[in-house]
Chains A and B, each alone.
Chain A
């Protein structure tokens, strides 16, 4: 388990993360969501010991600094030595990752139809990413951090990668944290989503809960209702358009209060994961 305790990080006088706490249980794929500049990459770089920070981060009960060989950070700008190819980078990584699985590496090269002999500086952005992802998985880390790693991958590769990640996680030895601002990208692979907002993890929720407990309903009235009615309700957002009101709420608490306003139309609407996060981001931004 990854445990983050009271993590703070500032650049010059600008705090990016402040007293952040987070626990990532084993065998999960966590989606890390946040607006641009929320600190997703900073958080990942703190976890992977790229940055100094204040606070404690531990993996399986030991300080993460002592467990570097158990974690792999796939940066949004993958690092490689000039003119190296994938197979030379593999030799480099093997120095630091004793668990490097050569057989699995071969398997992945085949799976991704990847040429390990091509110099990395000649590869496209998407292929560079594939190279580092193949290396990352082959290192058999306990924790893989992927910073916007799905960006720039073509749909076929993306699908292959998702399948591989699911296999690794299912075997129980690996946890994955994937950051993205593209929620759709994360929807079909993550078990849980965490929202980074205002320097902290604003909430974490399982996808099941996100799908089942958020509701969006269109309400119709014969007389336009007053805004105060909805202002007092435990709803996440409401929009009044004369006699039609659209509300988004979580759980069942608001349902009874809504029904008490006796709408003549109660029409549940589809609600995408994106809308849920937009609403939650707005809610946490409006809190002081």
Chain B
């Protein structure tokens, strides 16, 4: 169901979190739907159960899932707009920093972004 890349710079618990957020935000997982148990997921990915537990704990803290003792983890009834916005902001910040370093001015990046947006809108 999920897939982790041991060689990625991103920690494995983070990769699991991102994938669950992606599945919830695209509507593949509906609210109330059950997630695989920590043990099952750890076994199928061949990783330490503590890593999965950490991903679930952080997701629970962010309100993306609810864990019910002895029953398992379930997708919470929440709008992920905030999560997605935060992620988008991080990515934009990375993008901005990269191209500033490569010599584009802030104004140039802004005008490129506007060009891309208007192209996408017109399609």
Contacts and interface: CB of A to CB of B under 8 A. Distances in A.
A150 B28 CA distance: 45
B8 A270 contact: yes
Interface centre among A264, A270, A272 (most CB of B within 10 A): A270
A179 B5 CA distance: 25
Contacts of B27: 220, 222, 264
A243 interface: yes
Interface in B51-71: none
Contact of A220 (B3, B7, B23, B36): B23
Interface residues of B, number: 14
Given A244-B23, A265-B22, A265-B23, A220 B28 contact: yes
Contacts of A221: 28
Given A220-B23, A265-B28, A244 B7 contact: no
A246 B23 contact: no
Interface string B5-40: 101100000000001001100111100000010000
B5 A272 contact: yes
B5 A244 contact: no
Contact of B28 (A243, A269, A272): A243
Contacts of B23: 220, 244, 265
Contact of A246 (B1, B5, B22, B28): B1
A216 B7 CA distance: 16
Contacts of A160: none
A241 interface: yes
Given A244-B1, A246-B1, A269-B3, A220 B8 contact: no
A242 B75 CA distance: 15
Contacts of B5: 269-270, 272
A265 B19 CA distance: 11
Interface residues of A, number: 17
A93 to B, nearest CB: 40
A205 interface: no
A241 B28 contact: no
A269 B27 CA distance: 19
Contact of B26 (A242, A264, A269): A264
Interface centre among A218, A239, A272 (most CB of B within 10 A): A218
B98 to A, nearest CB: 20
A246 to B, nearest CB: 6
Given A218-B19, A265-B26, A241 B3 contact: no
Contacts of A218: 2-3, 19
A267 interface: yes
B41 to A, nearest CB: 10
A241 B26 contact: no
A274 B72 CA distance: 32
A3 B100 CA distance: 54
Given A243-B29, A264-B26, A267-B22, A216 B1 contact: no
Interface string A198-236: 000000000000000000101011100000000000000
Given A270-B5, A270-B8, 12 more contacts: A218-B2, A218-B19, A220-B27, A222-B28, A242-B1, A243-B28, A244-B1, A246-B1, A265-B26, A265-B28, A270-B7, A272-B5
Nearest 8 interchain pairs by C-beta:
A220-B28, A241-B1, A270-B5, A265-B26, A269-B3, A244-B1, A243-B28, A265-B28
10 contacts: A216-B3, A220-B26, A241-B1, A264-B27, A264-B28, A265-B23, A267-B19, A270-B5, A270-B7, A272-B5
